Structure 1
Amino acid sequence: MGDVVLGVDIGTSSSKAVLVRPDGEVVASSSRAHRMSLPRPGWAEMDAEVDWWGDVVALCRELVPLVPPGDRLSAVCPSGIGPCLVLVGDDGRALGPAVLYGVDSRASAEVDELGEMLGPAALEERCGSGLSSQALGPKLLWARRRRPEAWARARTWHGCSSFVVQRLTGVDALDHHTASQCAPLYDLRSRGWSEDWAVDVVGDLPLPRLVAPDDVVGAVTASASALTGLPEDLPVVAGAVDAWVEALGAGVRRPGDLMLMYGSTSFAVQVSPGLRRRPPLWATCGLDEGTYTLSGGTATAGSLTAWVQDLTGGASFEELVREAAGIAPGADGLLVLPYLAGERTPVFDPRARGVVAGLTLRHGRGHLYRAALEGIALGVAQVLDLFDDAAGASRPVVAVGGGTRGGLWTQITSDVTGRAQVVPEEAIGASYGAALLAAEGVGLVPRGTDWSRPGRLVEPDPALRGLYDDLAGAFASLYPATREAVGVLADVDESGSTQPGAGVPAGARELGRLA
């Protein structure tokens, strides 16, 4: 009898699941699209019961029957977007919408308040960086103040993957990696909760029990088995935030290894040889025992390509890529500042807005799409430069995510950044890394196993270096040059937005699939 494990990942625009053998062979996979809600400027939410748990139930019911005859399902592990916040009641169900990671900036006032109260130096020393929209602590304080009825009914709180674990097992636990993104509640030095700071944020609401990402937290309950089709008592491994789990599945485990994820947002994770505090990058616990990482991410990437798709009439990504590929590098003088959802690294400004500069009557849809990809790449270049400053130049970047599949986006990124990228042969995503955690957690493979298989190498075109260096200077000047003006526009947006948003563009269901 052979073993298979199940990895499940909940992303921004879809959830995916994969059955994998202990040697890394994929048996079967599936996905389900969903949408995040943007009910107010700066807010980004999901329905944890429908988009998280509902997707897990549906995917499990689809894949469990595909376990080959004679094999057995030996473990399951979730990963998910993060850090996110969902309050849960005594029945384990969500008490309202889940507040999403750094794309949600509703707690800006709490970020400022806690930052001033605790002090930048103390925050950097204990948490690895200052507070921003990426930190979960300010969102907890926001929920305590702005959702008092739900707060009063809450038994505890969860992130995305730990919510799924709780629904599968009934156990309240949070992995150390996700907890390390809950600043200022977690102390990176001691790898535990900062009880003295936590009480100012959560009061008497219990802090979850801390576990390792590859720990077996519990087993599938009878009720969860009836819903999902998973075997009762199946071991459930904790999991972690999707970008780090995807890095694991892509073989990014050694100090200096760096992953760049092409998804709804762009995100970079580098394994550090030890605890390094390099603001404005985020320092976090790694997934392997005793390790640390540095990370940074932009607020838009594939979500911008989907916006362009919808804005220009809903053409297929294949058509947009073909048109953009026919446009010369530099998009004939069109430059996009891709801050359509504010920006995280490096400016950390939730009130930043997108800018299209150099627009003329001769520019068309292909120009806009190419300029969007170049704008995303220019933002990524700023993030990667921060890694160089922190740890020195890394090996070739490992590129993952849906945006790597078409080739144009990755080539533009290499040309803009001047960096080679390796695109692994296996491109399923974080669900593949979650399956690896499941296999490690129940001892089917030793810790440190690498399932990745290098695929194609994307190298920069040296002839474009001068052009993109010039564009990088223009790009860097756009934000400070427009910040005051877009601040006025942000005020207009916030004062005039009284109706709940309909969600992300329909095209987000295929974010960056072929870019």
Structure 2
Amino acid sequence: MRVAAVIGVDIGTSSSKGVLVDLGGRVIGSCTRHHEVDRPRPGWVEMDAEIWWQEFVGITRELLAPGEADVVAVGVSGMGPCVLLTDADGVPLRPSILYGIDTRSTGQIARLNERFGENAIMQRCGSALSTQSAGAKIAWVADTEPHLFARARRLFMPSSWLAFKLTGEYVLDQHSASQCTPLYDTENLTWYLPWAKEIAPELVLPPLRWAGEVAGSVTAEAASLTGLRVGTPVITGTIDAWSEAISVGAQGVGDLMLMYGTTMFLVNTVPNRLTSPSLWGTVGALPGTRNLAAGMATSGAITGWLRDLFGSPDYPELLRLAELSGPGAGGLLMLPYFAGERTPIMDPHARGVIAGLTVSHTRGDLYRAALEATGLGVRHNIETMQAAGGDIRRVVAVGGGTQGKLWTQVVSDITGRAQDIPSQTIGASYGGAFLAAQVVTDVSIEAWNAIREIREPRPELAADYEELYALYRELYTGSKNIAHGLAARQERLTAETPPLAQRKARTEGVAP
């Protein structure tokens, strides 16, 4: 007998993931489509939005193929904040500029800070301008691609793009809007038109809804492509990290969600509006909630880079070798700033550092150092959250990195904090499915996704990691100027894209 179910699809940095879930929270099916972002220049990270839609269509058809379920609602989420500009008909004008890992807008950040005032922006928008700010990226397009920008009429992010393609409705959720600094007023939960009209006078900003509110229903055209029924409700959706927090019930005051993915993300639910120059003060995904949020520019991206560098051994083998390496990684220390860094240092020109290398170090040592670098970065962000007024009472882990025990154990050991590990750590797609289920029935995340284990810190390692953390903080300070100089050299070296043969020679050792 066919069961009533919901679909949740999330567009991530390295893949799109979909789940088919019955109304009791049981996962009936799941599938993934892997993709790569485009990096045309250092600091530029883009993606063609058509890939998002093609992957959504493929995922949905695959999930529906067994014919076991009647889909009664659809959930969507995606990486963000991103900037996808389209014309008045919703046709993309250029690839989407991705979130804070894209650092091209530093000039616009400086200009907008001078124009509106750093303090005024912080007070109105909840966050300082940074490479995470969608408004600064919009300003970059206006400044550097004026002929294209003159045709721009609509702003989308991955979740709102999927909702638009499915329903024809042009909407954005409140949380995503709150990361469009300086276009949004976090006090009054609305677009701040005086600044928005100055930065993008012809852009029609989308009407705002909450993540779980219905954006619209599946159109006949979308139904023919996806296999969904005409009229199926589609939620508005939100940014992936906030959907992840929903998926594990990390919505109470004092909850901190740790998202283990291509990047590491932290979302702390706070009792009232808080601001910090080193974090993002945002509106929550659900009505009445407020957050302090933090995000590292890389985490799983470094482990993936190492895997490829080592000749693509599988992750279980690398985790085994890292376990053998032991705490401290044989005397290695890594700064995880391989794509600049977002919070708390807000330094797009930071670069990765591996200190202490000798000819005796192994793959396991390097991989362990990468895991520990993530833990050290998490601790730095947690301390910054506490200094800004955040009250962290419970930590909940989610994402692909929770599947192996070692990574979460390392983070607990370094931070000294236990982590709740829920039964389902699929993440954002599961959170979108849950919000979709709430549209059609009365469900609770506690019933859907109970905690299955708790990762406790090991107190015998506290002193060693305290020493390593002090060295970690000192290493950035001591290497900052060198990193900035190297970043400037990288910019100069790639100001003009080299011919394909030269790129292959550089990356693969192939003679041009």
2:470 — aligned with what?
473
2:361 — aligned with what?
363
Q: Which residue of the other structure, out of 306, 309, 332, is the alignment partner of 1:308?
A: 306
1:229 maps to a residue whose letter is G
Structure 2: which 5+ residue stretches go unaligned? Answer: 501-512
Q: Partner of 1:153: helix, strand, or coil?
A: coil
Question: Are residues 1:16 and 2:17 paired?
Answer: yes
1:49 maps to a residue whose letter is E
Among all aligned residue pairs of Structure 1 and Structure 2, give the percentage whose two residues are the same amino acid.
Answer: 47
1:236 — aligned with what?
234
1:82 — aligned with what?
80
Q: Which runs of structure 2 are paired with 1:257-296 in the superposition (5 Å)? A: 257-296=255-294
- Structure 2 CA distance, aligned partners of 1:330 and 1:252? 31
What's the offset of the Cα at 1:93? 2.7
2:388 — aligned with what?
390
1:14 maps to a residue whose letter is S
Q: Is the contact between residue 40 and residue 500 of structure 1 (CA under 8 Å) also seen in structure 2?
A: no
Which shows bigger deviation, 237-246 or 22-31?
22-31
Residue by residue, what CA displacement relative to the aligned partner does 1:38-82 show, whole Å, maximum 9, x if unpaired?
Answer: 1101011111101x11110101111123452xx531111210000
Residue by residue, what CA displacement relative to the aligned partner does 1:189-244 show, whole Å, maximum 9, x if unpaired?
Answer: 10000001111211121111111111111111111111111111211110000000
- Structure 2 CA distance, aligned partners of 1:235 and 1:183? 30
2:437 maps to a residue whose letter is A
Q: Partner of 1:437: helix, strand, or coil?
A: helix
Residue by residue, what CA displacement relative to the aligned partner does 1:3-35 show, whole Å, maximum 9, x if unpaired?
Answer: 211111011111111111222122211111111
- Structure 2 CA distance, aligned partners of 1:28 and 1:169? 24
What's the offset of the Cα at 1:131? 0.5
Q: Is the contact between residue 12 and residue 264 of structure 1 (CA under 8 Å) also seen in structure 2?
A: yes
Question: Are residues 1:38 and 2:35 paired?
Answer: no
What's the offset of the Cα at 1:270? 1.0
2:459 — aligned with what?
462
1:512 — aligned with what?
none
What's the offset of the Cα at 1:392? 5.3
1:152 — aligned with what?
150
What's the offset of the Cα at 1:387? 2.2
Q: Which residue of the other structure, out of 111, 115, 118, is the alignment partner of 2:116?
A: 118
Question: CA 1:374–1:111 in structure 2 vs 1: closer, same or farther (change >3 Å)?
Answer: same
1:492 — aligned with what?
489
Q: Is the contact between residue 253 and residue 448 of structure 1 (CA under 8 Å) also seen in structure 2?
A: no
Question: CA 1:500–1:94 in structure 2 vs 1: closer, same or farther (change >3 Å)?
Answer: farther
Which TM-score applies when normalising by structure 2?
0.94
Structure 1: which 5+ residue stretches go unaligned? Answer: 503-515
- Structure 1 CA distance, aligned partners of 2:183 and 2:469? 37
Q: Is the contact between residue 38 and residue 501 of structure 1 (CA under 8 Å) also seen in structure 2?
A: no
Residue by residue, what CA displacement relative to the aligned partner does 1:340-385 show, whole Å, maximum 9, x if unpaired?
Answer: 1000111111111111111111111111111111111101110111
- Structure 2 CA distance, aligned partners of 1:80 and 1:348? 23
What's the offset of the Cα at 1:316? 1.5
Q: Partner of 1:326: helix, strand, or coil?
A: helix
What's the offset of the Cα at 1:500? 7.2
Question: CA 1:23–1:448 in structure 2 vs 1: closer, same or farther (change >3 Å)?
Answer: closer
Question: Are residues 1:222 and 2:223 paired?
Answer: no
1:121 maps to a residue whose letter is N
Q: Partner of 2:65: helix, strand, or coil?
A: helix
Q: Is the contact between residue 80 and residue 240 of structure 1 (CA under 8 Å) also seen in structure 2?
A: yes
1:28 — aligned with what?
29
- Structure 1 CA distance, aligned partners of 2:213 and 2:398? 25
Question: CA 1:10–1:392 in structure 2 vs 1: closer, same or farther (change >3 Å)?
Answer: closer
What's the offset of the Cα at 1:491? 1.3
- Structure 1 CA distance, aligned partners of 2:399 and 2:147? 39
2:62 maps to a residue whose letter is E
What's the offset of the Cα at 1:415? 0.8
1:351 — aligned with what?
349
2:321 maps to a residue whose letter is E
- Structure 1 CA distance, aligned partners of 2:114 and 2:421? 42
Question: CA 1:332–1:318 in structure 2 vs 1: closer, same or farther (change >3 Å)?
Answer: same
Q: Once superposed, what is the RMSD of the aligned Cα atoms?
A: 1.7
Q: Partner of 2:198: helix, strand, or coil?
A: helix
- Structure 1 CA distance, aligned partners of 2:499 and 2:78? 24
2:253 — aligned with what?
255
1:62 — aligned with what?
62
- Structure 1 CA distance, aligned partners of 2:42 and 2:183? 26
What's the offset of the Cα at 1:149? 3.2
Q: Partner of 1:375: helix, strand, or coil?
A: helix
- Structure 2 CA distance, aligned partners of 1:387 and 1:487? 26
Question: CA 1:122–1:501 in structure 2 vs 1: closer, same or farther (change >3 Å)?
Answer: farther
Q: Is the contact between residue 20 and residue 29 of structure 2 (CA under 8 Å) also seen in structure 1?
A: yes
What's the offset of the Cα at 1:388? 2.4
What's the offset of the Cα at 1:279? 3.2
1:399 maps to a residue whose letter is A
Q: Partner of 2:101: helix, strand, or coil?
A: coil
Alignment size in residue pairs: 498
- Structure 1 CA distance, aligned partners of 2:497 and 2:411? 37
Q: Is the contact between residue 100 and residue 132 of structure 2 (CA under 8 Å) also seen in structure 1?
A: yes
| Higher RCO structure, 1 or 2 (CA under 8 Å, sep 6+) | 1
- Structure 2 CA distance, aligned partners of 1:367 and 1:447? 43
Question: Are residues 1:321 and 2:322 paired?
Answer: no
